[in-house]
Every structure is written in C-alpha cells, then in structure tokens.
Amino acid sequence: ETGVTQTPRHLVMGMTNKKSLKCEQHLGHNAMYWYKQSAKKPLELMFVYNFKEQTENNSVPSRFSPECPNSSHLFLHLHTLQPEDSALYLCASSQDGDRVNEQYFGPGTRLTVT
Amino acid sequence: GQNIDQPTEMTATEGAIVQINCTYQTSGFNGLFWYQQHAGEAPTFLSYNVLDGLEEKGRFSSFLSRSKGYSYLLLKELQMKDSASYLCAVTDSNYQLIWGAGTKLIIKP
C-alpha cells in the first residue's frame, strides 16, 4: 500500500471539458509533486509544492492548473486540453522538497483527451 | 543539458542474472535512485546510491561510479514477477529528480 491515492484512475474528456484530478497522501509528508508519464518517455516533472507553496513549475501550459490547499491534498485542474495531453498523470510525495528524499507515488490517473 | 540514458528493453531468463545500465549527465549530483514500475502501477523505490560502490539488498544490487556518471542495477535469481520497467533517476543540484525513460525488462520461463 503506497499511502498515496489518486482519483479518478481513468478519465476520458473532450477538449472543451473541465475536470480535476485529485491526490491525497497519508504519510505526513511536506512535499507533493505532479508528473506526466507518456509511453517510452521519461517522467516529466510538472509541479512541486513544498509546505503548500509552489516551488517548481516546469514551463507547463496554463491549461494545467495545480492547487494545494494543504500538505495532504493536491489537485490538478484541467481545461481545454489537447489530444497530446493524453498520458498517465502521477502524483508523488516526499518528506521535504528541498533535500534528497525518496518519493512515494500514487497509482496514477490514465487521461485520454478526445 | 541534463540527460539520463538507459536501454529501452531487455530480455532475460527466469533464474538468471541481468544488469541494467544507466548513464547520466546532470547539473549537480545528489544521488541516484532506482525505481520499479509494473505495468499500470505506481513506481516503487528500489535503491538509492550517493557514494561510489555497490549497495546490496537481497536479490537486487545497485552500483554507482560518480566519476564515470554511471550506475547499474543487478537483479539475481530472476523471477517472473520481476518483469517490469526499471527507472533510473538522478537528484540534481536543486534536489529535483531527473528521470530516464525506463528499461522494460521481460522475463521468459
């Protein structure tokens, strides 16, 4: 059991829809991450939150909007996505975001944009 | 630029030994991680190396040479359940993980 949960596990949405991905960690960690995983490509770091403050935004398009209301919850709000945004979106957490820590991953949300 | 290279796919036989290599070029180095990811599941932590040498953990071992920018993951006594992707990741000077594309390991009976 990873201690990091994500919902929904699968999502199909049209390009004009608005949806949100949710991540929750039960590990008492202070840092949370959003990654995009596409087939045969490296994990792409999208956003990092450390103690609820966004510390990293890797040039992610504005159609992806993160929200971190507290250290245990992380959301990714999606709107007007493109078909190339179809991928597995992984959430992770670690003890702190400003030192070397093992990251714990959730099972991911498989997103398909039609 | 930052770059992590590992083979795309490898095949091995049940009961055998396999070595998965990873080479890296990053801005700074604060350690190297190996993760295992079964199809449709979350990546899970296998090992962390920050000093040169071999770290052994049961059937799995991980080696690091910082001067060569090189690491390998060694899996012994392979089992069918070891079929998975193995991800190499380096912690850079900003403590962010830079990931390789992963090596898909196929185990045959």
Calculate mean pLDDT across residues A54-83. 92
Whether chain A has a CB inside 8 Å of the CB on B38: the answer is no
Q: How does pLDDT run across A26-38, given as a tens digit for each residue?
A: 999 999 999 999 9
Does A24 lie at the interface with B, CB-CB under 8 angstroms?
Answer: no
Q: How far apart are CA A69 and CA B89, in angstroms?
A: 28
Cβ of residue A10 closer than 8 Å to a chain B Cβ: no
A102/B42 touch (CB, cutoff 8 Å), yes or no: no
Within an 8 Å CB–CB cutoff, is residue A102 touching chain B?
yes
- Better pLDDT: A65 or A100: A65
Whether B9 has its CB under 8 Å from any CB of chain A: the answer is no
Q: Which of A40, A99, A103 sits opposite B101 (nearest CB)?
A: A40
Which has the minimum average pLDDT: A57-66, A80-89, B45-54, B65-74? Answer: A57-66
Query: Please, are residues A9 and A107 in contact by the beta-carbon 8 Å criterion?
Result: yes
A100 and B102 in contact by Cβ < 8 A? no
The yes-or-no verdict on residue A1 having pLDDT over 70 is: no
Tell me which of B8, B93, B99 to substitute to probe the interface with A (most A C-beta atoms closer than 10 Å). Answer: B99
- Check A102 against B45: CB less than 8 A apart: yes
Mutation target vs B (from A2, A100, A101; most B CBs, 10 A cutoff): A100
Residues of B in contact with A90 (CB under 8 A): 42-43
Q: What is the pLDDT of residues B40-92, one digit of tens each?
A: 889 999 999 999 999 999 999 999 999 999 999 999 999 999 999 999 999 98
Of the candidates A41, A37, A25, A36, which has an alpha carbon nearest to the alpha carbon of residue A73?
A25
Contacts of A39 in chain B (CB under 8 A): none
Please, which pLDDT band fits residue A2 given cuts at 50, 70 and 90?
Answer: low
Alpha carbons A91 and B96: distance in angstroms, whole number? 15
Residue partners of B66: CB distance under 8 A and separation at least 6: B29, B52
Closest-CA residue to B90 (of B1, B25, B6): B25
| CA A29/CA A32 separation, integer angstroms | 8
Cα(B90)–Cα(B78) distance, integer angstroms: 25
> Cα separation of A82 and A61, whole Å?
11
CA B61 to CA A97: how far, in whole Å?
27
Cα–Cα distance between B102 and A43 in angstroms, integer?
A: 9
* All residues at 6 or more sequence positions from B56 whose CB lies less than 8 Å from its CB, including other chains: none
Report the residue from B4, B42, B95 with minimal CB separation from A99: B95
CA distance A28 to A64: 26
pLDDT band at A59 (very low <50, low <70, confident <90, very high): confident
Q: Do B42 and A105 touch (CB under 8 A)?
A: yes
